[in-house]
Structure 1
Amino acid sequence: MNTIIYFVRHAHSTYTEKERSRPLSEHGKRDAEKVKDLLANKNIHHVLSSPYLRSIQTVEPLANEIGKEVHVIEDFKERKLIEGSAKNFSEAIERVWSDEAFSWPGGESNQVARQRGANALNDVLKKHEGERVVIGTHGNIMTLTMGALDSRFDYEFWKQLRMPEVIALTFDQSTLLTVDRIVDEEAQSTFT
């Protein structure tokens, strides 16, 4: 039996510099309800999340709907770009994507963050083989983790992600079979 991982990039949040406690905006809360509607009938076995509030709040309506708890997995937190805030976010993010080993002071390189995400995903695949698992996470760490499986998931892929975004990865043990964007209850856009 295949394992299906539903990566859920968090919905729109109200910006604060406190990464862990940044909440969803009112628009984000409405979109979290749409995530619930997309996944409520998918026979989900587990709901996991980054420790950041915006990720938890994005998958919480689903967890409540299907009677599951949200279990926090620290390593699905967003990649740390830089200590404090970047003067120019666009330039800072382009720099780390252009050089896999580069990191800003106090931040994570793509290599380090990708390995963290890949290790966390491998742990989930081993622990929940044959199950359907939702993982509330973030755009950069999600893309980096997916990029460990297939290099097509790169900076350009990250730039076109929506908030929220639901991506289904189907595995046979640890072998990636398909990647689908879940856009509504019927339609899927296939990447592989």
Structure 2
Amino acid sequence: MRHAHSTYTSEELKRPLSVKGSKDAIKVKELLLKENIEHVISSPYLRAIQTVEGLANTLGEEIHIMNDFRERKLTEGFAINFEEAIRTVWDNPLFSWEGGESNKVAQHRGIRGMEIVLEQYKNKNVAIGTHGNIMVLTMNYFDQQYDFEFWEKLAMPDIYKLSFRDKKLVDCNRLWKDYE
């Protein structure tokens, strides 16, 4: 799932949920309790952790932090024109801005994380709190319909239920649609 809305701060790792994001995190918990979640994983970023912590607390589960699900680093520092910068890396998967990750590099990291989850939690229902760009890059590896235009339409939060068989994506359903 993509994390709920956050309050912007320059400290990427510690950016907290906004008031709206905190309210939506309660809805995330309510929705995912219906999905028989057995394990909770998160990016190390505070906003992703805060999005899944209510679920984890209700289940009595620890949140397993996985660095592979952190957001892609677009550039060193601040992108002057974010829309142009993000479009450029999606149009050119091998291109990276100075100090940033290309789509290929970020996607490889997301896939590495997903493969670990698929191996360690085989036949389990797992909630993963992550970020829009790395989530869609990972989904794109399995099905190219999940592209830049798909990413642009994501809500915050947004939740997709991915089903796998033998590490192959067999189904993907959006769960958040009824909560917007």
Q: TM-score, normalised by structure 2?
A: 0.97
Shift of 1:67: 1.1
Q: Secondary structure at the match of 1:179?
A: strand
Counterpart AA for 2:79:
A
Counterpart AA for 1:183:
W
Highest RCO, 1 vs 2 (Cα 8 Å, sep ≥ 6): 1
1:175 aligns with 2:168: yes
Give the gaps of 5 or more residues in structure 2.
Answer: none
Q: Secondary structure at the match of 1:161?
A: coil
Counterpart AA for 1:135:
I
Shift of 1:45: 1.1
2:26 matched to which residue of 1?
Answer: 33
1:19 aligns with 2:41: no
Counterparts in 2 of 1:55-66, with a 5 A limit?
55-66=48-59
1:145 matched to which residue of 2?
Answer: 138
Counterpart AA for 1:87:
I
1:86 matched to which residue of 2?
Answer: 79
2:65 maps to which of 62, 65, 72: 72
- 1:129 touches 1:173 (CA, 8 Å); kept in 2? no
1:190 matched to which residue of 2?
Answer: none
Aligned residues: 178
2:43 maps to which of 50, 60, 64: 50
2:111 matched to which residue of 1?
Answer: 118
Counterpart AA for 1:55:
A
Give the gaps of 5 or more residues in structure 1.
Answer: 1-7, 188-192
| RMSD of aligned residue pairs (Cα, Å) | 0.9
**Runs of 4+ displaced beyond 4 Å:** none
- In proportion to residue count, which structure has more helix? 2
Shift of 1:173: 2.3
